[in-house]
A and B are shown apart, each in its own frame.
Chain A
Amino acid sequence: MSLSILAVDDSRTMRDMIRLALQPAGFTVHTADDGLHGIDVLDGITPDAIITDINMPRMDGFGFIDAVREQEQHRATPILVLTTEAAPELKARARAAGATGWIVKPFDPAKLVKALQMVAG
Chain B
Amino acid sequence: MSFETDPMAEIRASFFVECEELLEALQDSLQIMDDGAEDSETINVVFRAVHSIKGGAGAFGLDALVRFAHRFETVLDALRTDRMQADAAAVKVFFQCADHLSDLVRHSRDGGSDPAEQSGALLARLDALLGTEAAPAEDIAEPEIDFQPMGLTLDLAALDDALPADLPPLNALPPLCDLADLPPPEADGLKTYRLHFTPDTKLYETGNEPFLLLRALEELGAAQITCDTTRLPKQQDLIPEHSYLSWTVKLETDAEEAKILSVFDFVEGLCSLDLQPIAVTPDAASASAPRTPKTPTAPPSPSAAPATAKAPTPIKNVVRVDLDRIERLVNLVGELVINQAMLSQSLETANLPPHGDAMNGLEEFQRLTRDIQDSVMMLRAQPVKSLFQRMSRIIREASTAVNKEVRLHTEGDATEVDKTVIERLADPLTHMIRNAVDHGLETPADRIAAGKPAEGQVKLSASHRSGRVIIEVSDDGAGINRPRVLQIAIDKGLIPADAQLSDSEIDNLLFLPGFSTAGSVSDLSGRGVGMDVVRTAIQALGGRITITSVPGSGTCFSISLPLTLAVLDGMVIDTAGETLVVPLNLVVETLTFQAQDVSMIRPGQHVVRVRGAFVPIVDLAAELGYRAPQNSYDGAVALLIAHENGNRAALLIDNILDQRQVVIKGLDDGFSRAAGIAAATILGDGQIALILDPSDIITNAAQPLQKPLRAGALT
User: Is B307 within 8 A of A100, CB to CB?
Assistant: no
Choose one: B52, B59, B170; the contact of A17 (CB below 8 Å): B59
The dominant DSSP class at the B interface is loop
Selected interface stretch from B201-209, B456-464, B548-556, B619-627: B201-209
The reply to whether the CB of B216 lies closer than 8 angstroms to some CB of chain A is: yes
Give the interface size class of chain B: 35 or more
The reply to whether the CB of B48 lies closer than 8 angstroms to some CB of chain A is: yes
User: Is A95 within 8 A of B270, CB to CB?
Assistant: yes
User: Is A76 within 8 A of B52, CB to CB?
Assistant: no
User: Is B163 within 8 A of A17, CB to CB?
Assistant: no
Residues of B within 8 A of A102 (CB): 166, 266
Residues of B within 8 A of A36 (CB): 309, 312
Choose one: A59, A78, A93, A109; the contact of B309 (CB below 8 Å): A59
CA distance A101 to B216 in the complex (A): 15
CA distance A103 to B306 in the complex (A): 20
User: Is B315 within 8 A of A11, CB to CB?
Assistant: no
Interface residues in B280-317 (C-beta closer than 8 Å to A): 299-307, 309-310, 312-313, 315
CA distance A95 to B205 in the complex (A): 10
The reply to whether the CB of A44 lies closer than 8 angstroms to some CB of chain B is: no
Query: Number of contacting residues on A, CB 8 A?
Result: 60
Interface residues in B176-233 (C-beta closer than 8 Å to A): 204-209, 211-213, 216
The reply to whether the CB of A3 lies closer than 8 angstroms to some CB of chain B is: no
The reply to whether the CB of B47 lies closer than 8 angstroms to some CB of chain A is: yes
Residues of A within 8 A of B14 (CB): 12-13, 16
User: Is A11 within 8 A of B52, CB to CB?
Assistant: yes
The smallest beta-carbon distance between A38 and chain B, in angstroms, is 12
The reply to whether the CB of A7 lies closer than 8 angstroms to some CB of chain B is: no
User: Is B55 within 8 A of A11, CB to CB?
Assistant: yes
The smallest beta-carbon distance between A104 and chain B, in angstroms, is 5
The smallest beta-carbon distance between A47 and chain B, in angstroms, is 12
Given contacts A86-B164, A98-B206, contact A63 B307 (CB under 8 A): yes
User: Is B15 within 8 A of A96, CB to CB?
Assistant: no
CA distance A60 to B270 in the complex (A): 24
Residues of B within 8 A of A67 (CB): 306
CA distance A59 to B289 in the complex (A): 49
CA distance A77 to B209 in the complex (A): 10
The smallest beta-carbon distance between A4 and chain B, in angstroms, is 15
CA distance A62 to B44 in the complex (A): 15
The reply to whether the CB of A14 lies closer than 8 angstroms to some CB of chain B is: yes
For this complex, 12 residue pairs linking A to B, each with C-beta atoms less than 8 Å apart, are: A24-B154, A60-B306, A62-B304, A63-B305, A77-B207, A84-B147, A97-B304, A98-B207, A105-B55, A106-B55, A110-B159, A118-B266
Residues of B within 8 A of A (CB): 1, 3, 7-8, 10-11, 14-15, 18, 44-45, 47-48, 51-52, 54-56, 58-59, 146-147, 149-150, 152, 154, 156-157, 159, 163-164, 166-168, 170-171, 204-209, 211-213, 216, 265-266, 269-270, 299-307, 309-310, 312-313, 315
